[in-house]
Structure 1
């Protein structure tokens, strides 16, 4: 039996060189693109390479070409070779939160480090909360929302009749998690990472962008979340990331 090579492990003595990110339109790639643009904007990283792909118009899936970066072909993917030997086959890094941690460990030069032990614990918690609770509930709600949209016309009225009530149920499951997010943010701690932007904020942006774009919650009840979301959208690094992605939120995810 042939064993798969180890991924998401930097086993070189040389530091990593210029990374390449494989991005897909309307996807969680926004987390990594935003982080990379923050690194470049703050001179922590000189540059990065971008391979941007578009979803299929019919299936909405990623193209086979994305498997060049990693065998599963799921965005985002980050590949990097050692700085000392840039022609060496690159190591792939996958799963958004792990990619972000790799960027923080090897490129960020402390700019995302927490300012206190309390903030550090908060930052770690909300990274996990974003990737499990919020992302899972958002994905389930999105599925209930999109099935009727994708159903051919003769069957669409019946499918909507079945799925619209289910969509309401799944929206309701977001209420308590969103109350937690709302109560967490404040003037003193405006970021999910605490007093400053942290990895938790990068992790949180994709599910919250989806929820805002598709109106899965009553914005009037969550002013702190809306303020955080507006602040992120006004960041030059975020705006550059959206532009480089080539398509994001245009079709409400």
Structure 2
């Protein structure tokens, strides 16, 4: 049986959401962050050497990294659903945006968060550079989702599931004003309307206000 090991307020919400969209059977094992430092509790850290979520177990399989888990679950349990095949016209878009969240947007948000914690003055060149880089990425994303309903085009895919976390829950840790990006705000409302997303968040993080505006 596929088990999703989910840490509250973390990237593992993606895997819960994926399973709900695919409507596949799975067991949800939830963990609570430590009160003293907001990191993973010992029982989750003992599960996998990386010591963080997401992690899945599936029989003898133990796998971490949300992108890798996404591919695994789609291939092994989802019959290829929510991924586009290589011969699909929108396959390049699917690939690009599938990897954009963890490859570009989240690192930029993380660097901005760390610079903020260092309390660098607004005029510091490093701070200005990070702000400009993040804005470029958000403007690119904003233009994409203003032009098409979903990142790959007309079809909702795993790329949208990957993108959801940095635009929503990650903002608990890295506050970000999305007011200037009307396309992204409209995109988040499309995500919020999906029953699979609603079920996933209710199961994985019940009672947590969702940052969808």
TM-score (norm 1): 0.72
Q: Equivalents in 1 of 2:138, 2:154: separation in Å?
A: 20
Cα pair 1:25 1:247 within 8 Å, conserved: no
**Is residue 191 of structure 1 aligned with residue 161 of structure 2?**
no
Counterpart in the other structure of 1:233: 192
Per the alignment, do residues 75 and 228 of structure 1 end up closer, same or farther by CA in structure 2, a change over 3 Å counting? Answer: same
Counterpart in the other structure of 2:160: 201
In structure 1, which of residues 107, 114, 129 is the aligned counterpart of residue 84 of structure 2? Answer: 114
In structure 1, which of residues 152, 174, 178 is the aligned counterpart of residue 134 of structure 2? Answer: 174
Alignment of 1:106-185 (within 5 A): 106-114=76-84, 117-145=88-116, 147=117, 162-163=119-120, 165=122, 169=128, 170-185=130-145
In structure 2, which of residues 20, 24, 32 is the aligned counterpart of residue 54 of structure 1? Answer: 32
Partner SS for 2:62: strand
Per the alignment, do residues 114 and 236 of structure 1 end up closer, same or farther by CA in structure 2, a change over 3 Å counting? Answer: same
Counterpart in the other structure of 2:17: 34
Compute the RMSD of aligned alpha carbons: 2.6
Tell me the CA shift for residue 20 of structure 1: 0.3
Higher-Rg structure is 1
Count how many residue pairs are aligned between Structure 1 and Structure 2. 206
In structure 2, which of residues 38, 48, 65 is the aligned counterpart of residue 95 of structure 1? Answer: 65
Alignment of 1:8-87 (within 5 A): 18-40=1-23, 45=24, 47-81=25-59
Q: Equivalents in 2 of 1:30, 1:144: separation in Å?
A: 26
Q: Equivalents in 1 of 2:176, 2:92: separation in Å?
A: 28
Deviation per residue, 1:227-251 (Å, 9 max, x gap): 1111112222112212222368659
Tell me the CA shift for residue 200 of structure 1: 1.0
Q: Name segments (4+ residues, structure 1) moved above 4 Å.
A: 210-215, 247-252
Cα pair 2:4 2:28 within 8 Å, conserved: yes
TM-score (norm 2): 0.84
Gaps of 5+ in 2: none
